Structure 1
Amino acid sequence: MASANKKQTINDQYIISKYMNYVLEHDAYPKSVYKFCKDNKIKEEEFYTFFGSLDSMDKSIWNAFFITAVDAMNRNKEYASFSTRDKMLTLYYTLFEVLTLNRSYVLFALKRYDIPFKNLNQLRGFRTHIKNFAKELIEIDNDEKMFKITKNPISVFSEGAWLQFLFLLNFWVGDESAGFEKTDVAIEKSVHTIFDLFDNTPLNNVLDFGKFLWNEKVRWN
């Protein structure tokens, strides 16, 4: 019989879970590491083993969302054989499934500050993950193209993927459809459109992608 007094294992996932619950239950962020740890019966030294500050936790939560999505994708034995287009679709579908499971926290976090760009600071590490994922995809596609002129600029594609995610995130935030089915449609349409754009018209600068996103925004509004 397991001991009723078995000590709780303190790791990064446990602390993140407690932090997210704290934010939602108090409708506010903890004022200090001391206050957060005291309320959750966590030793400060245990907290600092995994995180340097509360701000670093905000970023770590988004990193955990991405890692959770990628782990889920890789558990699908067929994923490795997907086309680059289908891999990008799978990433977005899976990411938004993860975000939906944590929607209350995500919506709260994205409205923390009155200045929109300040709210995006927590996504800095997440942005790097998205861009690196996109870089790998475009490198694969470029390797399959015979002529240099038909190859797409990796930096433009990766930045475009990030802008596309922000567009989809904003769409998801305002989506009131059952099961967020409109977000699923937006993901499918935008990914297919941008891959068609890259396949047929190599982009020379990110402004072309910006025009695409603006057209998408107008269409869905």
Structure 2
Amino acid sequence: MATKPKVEKNLSKIDIITYYMDHVLEHEHIPRSVYKFAKNNKFEEKDFYKYFGNFQALREDIWESFFDNAHSLMNQNEEVANYGSREKMLTFFFTFFEILTANRSYVLYVLEENEDQLKNLKQLKGLRRNIKSFAKELIEDDNDEKSYSFLKRNESIYSEAAWIQFLFLLKFWKDDKSADFEKTDVAIEKSVNTIFDVLDNTPLEKVFDFGKFLYKETMK
């Protein structure tokens, strides 16, 4: 009687990402080679290359997956469709940092892996593109509702500001020692409101309020 061929489990991108993150946390270094990584996790090396060209591509994809998950979770709330751009940005950042918190051990390790911070930030290349695109879409939607061109916001400037804002929040979250990262939530709310207030040319009380908050936290 002929034997049935062995049926291999279909390996997903998420499976490989999970294996990789587990490896980094357990061994505190990236895998030495794709071959050893695949062998240790009992899958074929060729299956890795279905999704990633190398480990750097995988590392970048992890951050893009964080973005995709946050964006998807945000949009599962039907009320979000009726939010303005300010509320959408707040909701996104709150959701994104909840995901980072759920993966805090991995995130802290890879952001502090090298003394050269530029090397650590290299993995955020795809995330930067996604956050800037998301911010640009929000401003485009706002601009479509404005009748006069002088009332429209500069999409490029705002999208870059949103990325810089994210980097600040990421640093703040890394250093946050408050219970349940409550201070990060405050920083998110104040920073998002400040940027929108500046863009709307409203009084600068909130800018000073945000500045005082940053000074207070930095001096502690």
Q: TM exceeds 0.5?
A: yes
Tell me which amino acid in the other structure corresponds to 1:195. F
Is 2:169 the counterpart of 1:168? yes
CA distance in 1 between partners of 2:115 and 2:13 (Å)? 29
Q: What does 1:118-137 correspond to in 2, within 5 Å?
A: 118-137=119-138
| Unaligned residue ranges in structure 1 (runs of 5+) | 202-211
Q: Could you list the per-position Cα deviations for residues 22-75 of structure 1 after superposition, in whole angstroms to 9, with x for gaps in the alignment?
A: 000001111111121111112101111111101100001001000011111111
Q: Which position in structure 2 is the counterpart of 1:54?
A: 55
- Give how far 1:217 is off: 4.2
Is 2:217 the counterpart of 1:220? yes
Larger Rg over CA atoms? 2
Q: Is the 1:111–1:119 Cα contact (8 Å) retained in structure 2?
A: yes
| Unaligned residue ranges in structure 2 (runs of 5+) | 1-5, 203-208
- Give how far 1:101 is off: 0.4
Deviates more, 1:108-117 or 1:6-15: 6-15
SS in 1 for 2:78: coil
Q: What does 1:144-155 correspond to in 2, within 5 Å?
A: 144-155=145-156
Q: Is the 1:172–1:180 Cα contact (8 Å) retained in structure 2?
A: yes
Percent identity over the alignment is: 51
Deviates more, 1:142-151 or 1:117-126: 142-151
Deviates more, 1:110-119 or 1:13-22: 110-119
Q: What does 1:55-94 correspond to in 2, within 5 Å?
A: 55-94=56-95
State the Cα RMSD in Å: 2.0
User: Highest relative contact order (Cα 8 Å, sep 6+), 1 or 2?
Assistant: 1
TM-score (norm 1): 0.89
Q: Which position in structure 1 is the counterpart of 2:17?
A: 16
- Give how far 1:213 is off: 9.0
- Give how far 1:218 is off: 3.3
Aligned residues: 208
